[in-house]
Structure 1
Amino acid sequence: MIMLGLSGRIIEQSATSYQMSTPDFIAATAEIGYQAVELRAGQLNVDTPDAEISEIGHALSQNGVACAFCNCLVAQNPDTLGDVRRMAEIARGLASPYLRMGMTDVGWMQRACDIADEYEVGVVVQIHTNTPLETVEGAMRVCAQIERPNFGLTYEPANFVLAGRDYGAEALKQLGDRLRNVTLQNLKPIEQTEGEGVIVHNDRGFTRCLPGDPDGVSFERVFAGLKAVGYRGYATLIEPISPTMDSMALAKLYLEKLAPLC
């Protein structure tokens, strides 16, 4: 069964400011009905005190919520490998299966994967525009370069929409056993390439939209594709704060739409 998670991005006001404390966010997530959370770098990082990490762990346990993945978005140079070790230690302590990272340096990523593996933690990189992993083909080339069994991919269909690529079952099949994690948000193409809320990629305009919008991501296709390849993990909603809707009301709306698809 696919399990639904909620990212702290939905309450993220800035890189270090959130609408509620992390324990309160975990409790609110559980109350709505999500099974997991993503803790953003501003909620959990290498500088988070041990006492606060213990408080987060207690909140996860008390509310019956898992940590789908932690973030380790650091500069990729030898000086930051200690940060990888620290975050892998934190992830293992919270029973989180993955560290999410960016991808800029193959050698560094190989060493990061080796460190994470010491803690039985995997490393995931999102298939994302403006990176070497913008396409399925590019993502699989990176996997071949990294050549570590605990390195895998995060599938996020809205980035396929941005890249003008199909995000259905055929794309998912190409990922094979490198598909380790799923994140979800909703975008649709629009004619405008300027204005508030407009995202531009390759001279094409996009904007955020609610689930069920006929021009947005078809989550029915997404979940049908995930089931077709036998995916059994977390699918985490990573929508940002809405300018027009209460954050947790938006999270609840998505849960009502996505839960029947799991």
Structure 2
Amino acid sequence: RVHFNHKCTDVDLAEAVCHLETETGNLTVRGDAVVGVDGAFSAVRASMQRKIDNFQYDESYLAYGYKELTIPPATDGSWRIEKNALHIWPRKSFMMIALPNPDGSFTCTLFWEFEGPRSVTIRCAPWSYKDKIALVGDAAHAVVPFYGQGMNAAFEDCVVLDECLEKFANDRESAFAEYFSRRKGNADALADLALGNFIEMRDKTASRTFRAKKRLDHLLEAALPGVYLPLYTMVTFSRIPYAQAARRARLQDRIIYSIFAALTLVLLFVFIRIFR
């Protein structure tokens, strides 16, 4: 059953007891275990911070807010700009992106430096307490929204946690420990990827060199299907773990840059030989 308007205020870690605020008063609920899926400002995690010695916690904010705008469809109902694309207008300190809608309009998001509520990145450890408590989703690893992967990462948490609970059917503490081991590195990698993608969209997309590299990525992906995969493709359209995708993308980039460096040296050598 789902109970709405029940706000968790505290958790007894040792007993797996939740203290809740409801519209009609306070409530205490006991279970075999508590899974905290209560967002970036998690009360379950806050209870762990207060009660677990050496609990590691890092919280950082991005000083940007956003405003949604709309590009309406043309008079004939068609799209005013290319519909099969993500449009980005980078302006160093701010940017706007636009995505197409089926009705011919575009939903635009303007990101600008902002004072007020900010996008937060949260890293913490551990994600569990004995066999009683586990954290899932933003409660364990909130990220900025610029890769569109926050919810997907939470769903992956659920898949992995389910696999671990099935593997250790009679040992929930071991299940929670393996879940953390399998997911922590990928969650940290996603935090870095999401922030990096924001900087990429805001700054780097204005560079001709960067855009040329992206075109090369697409050419290599088409020429070497399944062998060469751009980072965005790996993160968005596959179940390749985030940390593995980041490592593979760095390796691919090193190979490409090494090839370009070698070709440059060969051309330079040929040029020198011709004009000696």
Structure scoring higher RCO (CA < 8 A, sep ≥ 6) equals 1
- Name which one, 1 or 2, has greater alpha-carbon Rg: 2
| TM-score, normalised relative to structure 1 | 0.22
Judging by fraction of residues, say which structure has more strand: 2
